[in-house]
């Protein structure tokens, strides 16, 4: 598979702040790539540079072989974008909105193509309803349909399932999986780590303008975690400190403390030691470690390092 996105030594500064700090990034075609990071990591700035919506301070970026900086018109015709704050035209129906958006990209779309596109996103029965009457999930589906109207090879989906109910989220997951099966490339940004773990072939974790770790969701969990985690519900910061003092490498999730255990055979011994902690615990259970656990571990460690260096 060839790279559809290539960024070399990409920089974006705001005064003394390096929002994107000499970033190198390559994304292969026909995959779902997910860029993760805490607020302020530089994700949005990076994506907006790649989309051509923001100018880089330094470095270069190419999309499908065309320079974002000097060949933007070529890039625009090959890329579909669903922004996080997407709102459709209230008084247009999905049929009208898709046709209008295709025209914006210089593509004459037939009625049959429009019908097939709306069917692919599950909006056939709502094709002639004004957008203002669509549900939140239906509006996101319309946004994806509009982003596909120009027949793009690459789609940027920014928080596509934010605010959706569980069924609507699952429907959109199926749609994204279908796009990959068609050979399209999806660049996904999301705050839902389970979403990235479920959908992404390739994940990059960004912090302070740099990619600090990258791999498949499975390899990241394997390299940085363990097969089992013990959760101390309600243990809070006292439980975090006690678990550290007991020789564990715990992670704080809200008021819960998650303790990775290397090897299933050690879980019983770890449970016995953790039960003896004095911190308030309302429940203890075990679960498989997830990408979210690894994200919190990696980003949390970097944040602690940042505090120590300041």
| Overall average pLDDT of the 200-212 stretch | 96
Cα angle 152, 53, 41; round to 5:
105
| pLDDT at 263 exceeding the cut of 80 | no
Tokens of 269: 């011994």
Instruction: Count Cβ atoms below 10 Å from residue 218 Cβ, excluding itself.
Output: 11
pTM equals 0.82
- pLDDT tier at 307 (50, 70, 90 boundaries)? very low
pLDDT at 265: 59
Confidence of residue 305 (pLDDT cuts 50, 70, 90): very low
**43 and 49 Cβ atoms separated by less than 8 Å:** no
Per-residue tokens: 305: 């390092």
- pLDDT band at residue 310 under the 50/70/90 scheme: very low
Tell me the C-alpha distance between 144 and 161, whole Å.
11
What CATH homologous superfamily does 3-220 map to? P-loop containing nucleotide triphosphate hydrolases (3.40.50.300)
Which pLDDT score is estimated for 302?
A: 57
Domain chopping of the chain, boundaries: 3-220, 226-288
**Residue/partner pairs of 165-173 with CB below 8 Å, 24 or more apart:** 165/136, 165/137, 167/137, 168/135, 168/136, 168/137, 168/140, 169/195, 171/122, 171/137, 171/141, 172/137, 172/140, 172/141, 172/144, 173/198, 173/199
Residue 264, pLDDT > 60, answer no
Instruction: Determine what percent of the chain is predicted with pLDDT higher than 90.
Output: 65
Which ranges constitute the DSSP H helices of the chain? 43-51, 72-76, 94-104, 111-120, 136-148, 166-181, 193-199, 217-224, 236-245, 267-275, 291-309
Mean pLDDT of 236-244: 95
Q: Is the pLDDT of residue 303 over 60?
A: no
User: Does the structure show a pLDDT above 70 at 283?
Assistant: yes
- Terminal C-alpha separation, the chain: 43
The CA distances from residue 94 to 70, 121, 229, in Å, are: 33, 11, 46
Output the pLDDT for position 35. 97
d(CA 180, CA 34): 13
Average pLDDT of span 67-95: 91
pLDDT of residue 205: 96
pLDDT tens per residue, range 103-132: 887 788 899 999 999 998 889 999 999 999
pLDDT of residue 54: 94
Higher pLDDT among residues 97 and 261, named by residue: 97
Q: Domain 226-288 belongs to what architecture?
A: 2-Layer Sandwich (3.30)
**Residues ≥6 apart with Cβ < 8 Å to 265:** none
Output the pLDDT for position 88: 85
pLDDT digits (tens, 9 = 90+) for 47-80: 999 999 999 999 999 999 999 999 999 998 889 9
Q: Which of 156-170, 254-268, 270-284 has the lowest mean pLDDT?
A: 254-268
| Cα distance between residue 229 and residue 192, in whole Å | 19
What share of the chain has pLDDT > 70, as a percent?
95
């Amino acid at each position: 598979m060839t790279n559809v996105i290539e960024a070399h030594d990409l920089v974006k500064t705001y005064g003394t702040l390096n929002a994107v700090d000499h970033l190198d990034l390559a994304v292969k075609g026909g995959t779902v790539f997910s860029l993760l990071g805490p607020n302020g990591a530089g994700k949005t700035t990076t994506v907006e540079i790649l989309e051509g919506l923001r100018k880089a301070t330094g470095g270069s970026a190419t999309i499908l072989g065309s320079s974002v900086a000097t060949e933007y018109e070529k890039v625009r015709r090959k890329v579909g974008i669903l922004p996080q704050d997407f709102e459709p035209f209230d008084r247009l129906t999905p049929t009208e909105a898709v046709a209008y958006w295709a025209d914006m990209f210089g593509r004459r779309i037939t009625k049959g193509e429009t019908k097939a596109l709306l069917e692919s996103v599950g909006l056939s029965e709502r094709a002639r309803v004004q957008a203002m009457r669509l549900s939140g999930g239906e509006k996101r589906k319309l946004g994806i349909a509009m982003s596909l109207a120009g027949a793009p090879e690459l789609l940027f989906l920014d928080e596509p399932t934010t605010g959706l109910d569980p069924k609507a989220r699952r429907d959109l997951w199926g749609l994204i999986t279908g796009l990959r099966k068609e050979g399209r490339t999806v660049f996904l940004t999301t705050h839902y780590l389970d979403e990235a773990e479920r959908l992404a072939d390739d994940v990059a974790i960004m912090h302070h303008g740099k990619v600090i770790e990258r791999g498949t969701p499975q390899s990241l969990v394997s390299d940085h975690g363990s097969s089992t985690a013990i959760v101390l519900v309600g243990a809070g910061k006292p439980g975090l400190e006690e678990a550290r003092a007991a020789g564990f490498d715990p992670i704080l999730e809200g008021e819960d403390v998650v303790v990775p255990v290397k090897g299933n055979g050690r879980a019983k011994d770890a449970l016995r030691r953790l039960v003896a902690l004095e911190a308030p615990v309302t429940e203890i259970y075990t679960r498989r470690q997830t990408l979210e656990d690894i994200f919190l571990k990696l980003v949390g460690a970097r944040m602690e390092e940042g505090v120590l260096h300041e």
